């Protein structure tokens, strides 16, 4: 492979928060970005800002067929993926387990677990063919430290952490790195989504806290992606200061 060609990062959930900041930073650094998410209008707007090195693909990551179709139809100049950033995810609700909404639980499992697994399983063979790659999965401190109402969200993120280590076990010697990045409180649209559009309630979550910024996570993803290949960063936990 010609090492002068720009590298490509495939980012799930690039319409907001960490994913959007990551797309902007990698674009600035000269990478090609494949930006994905359900909201096509936001993707088009971001793609316009990023320019010709960016490819917007709108699909729901929890829909297996859509993930496979999107990857199968990648144009040849975008199908050598150096980094897959499995970032799309969400928390819904903060009710205790006896009151929580089962549809919310389904959606978190479908997105945070199944979506991440679909993207990984679909893109991994391309990385194996290229003999290099890096999968960076967005876990959370909620996967290690339980809190009331975290129930299924925390469970999905514990899956991400353990799945990352198991992927690593399968990929040793194949030139593919795997990292689980596990942040704490960061101000994005995360809480607005969790509280179903209640911005006032969402803003209370970050009151009097020095929160993590999306740009902090983007910089960490860039740092992880640019380490020498003789090391693998297994797991990074970042909490608000």
What values do phi and psi take at 143, rounded to 5? -80, -15
Nearest one of 214, 150, 211, 152 to 184, comparing CA atoms: 211
- Look at strands 8-11 and 133-138 and give their pairing: unpaired
State which of residues 61, 70, 141, 224 lies at the interface with ligand 8X3 (CB under 6 A): 141
Per-residue DSSP letter, 2: -
d(CA 72, CA 66): 10
Q: Of 44-52, 98-106, 135-143, 209-217, which part binds ligand 8X3 (CB under 6 A)?
A: 135-143
Distances in whole angstroms, Cα of residue 180 to Cα of each of 58, 166, 175, 184, 221: 24, 11, 17, 13, 10
Interface residue list for ligand NDP (CB under 6 A)? 12-19, 37-39, 60-62, 87-90, 111, 115, 138, 140, 183, 185-186, 188-190, 193
Q: Show Cβ contacts of residue 197 under 8 Å, excluding neighbours closer than 6 positions.
A: none
State which of residues 85, 142, 178, 212 lies at the interface with ligand 8X3 (CB under 6 A): 142
State which of residues 6, 130, 184, 238 lies at the interface with ligand 8X3 (CB under 6 A): 184
- Look at strands 176-183 and 235-238 and give their pairing: parallel
19 binds, among ligand 8X3, ligand NDP, none (CB under 5 to 8 A by kind): ligand NDP
Q: Which is nearer to ligand 8X3, 56 or 150 (CB)?
A: 150
Q: Which is nearer to ligand 8X3, 8 or 179 (CB)?
A: 179
Q: Which is nearer to ligand NDP, 45 or 170 (CB)?
A: 45
Instruction: Please indicate whether residue 153 is annotated as part of the active site.
Output: yes
Q: Which is nearer to ligand 8X3, 125 or 146 (CB)?
A: 146
Half-sphere exposure of 185 (CA within 13 A, CB side): 13
Three-class secondary structure of residue 78 per DSSP = helix
Residues in contact with ligand 8X3 by the rule CB under 6 A = 140-142, 150, 184-185
Active-site residues: which are they?
153
């Amino acid at each position: 492979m010609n090492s002068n060609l720009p590298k490509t990062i495939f980012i799930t959930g690039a319409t907001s928060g960490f994913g959007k900041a990551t797309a902007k930073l990698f674009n600035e650094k000269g990478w090609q970005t494949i930006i994905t998410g359900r909201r096509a209008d936001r993707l088009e707007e971001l793609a316009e800002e990023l320019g010709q090195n960016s490819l917007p693909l709108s699909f729901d990551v929890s829909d297996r067929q859509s993930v496979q179709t999107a990857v199968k139809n990648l144009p040849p100049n975008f199908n050598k993926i150096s980094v897959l950033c499995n970032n799309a995810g969400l928390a819904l609700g903060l009710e205790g387990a006896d009151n929580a909404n089962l549809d919310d639980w389904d959606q978190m499992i479908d997105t945070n677990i199944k979506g991440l697994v679909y993207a990984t399983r679909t893109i991994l063979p391309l990385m194996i063919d290229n003999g290099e790659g890096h999968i960076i999965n967005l876990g959370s401190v909620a996967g290690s430290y339980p809190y009331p109402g975290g129930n299924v969200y925390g469970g999905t993120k514990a899956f991400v952490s353990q799945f990352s280590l198991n992927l690593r076990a399968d990929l040793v010697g194949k030139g593919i790195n795997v990292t689980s990045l596990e942040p704490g409180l960061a101000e994005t649209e995360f809480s607005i989504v969790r509280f179903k559009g209640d911005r006032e309630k969402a803003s209370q979550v970050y009151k009097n806290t020095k929160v993590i910024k999306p740009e902090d996570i983007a910089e960490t993803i860039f740092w992880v992606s640019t380490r020498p290949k003789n090391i693998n960063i297994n797991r990074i936990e970042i909490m608000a200061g």
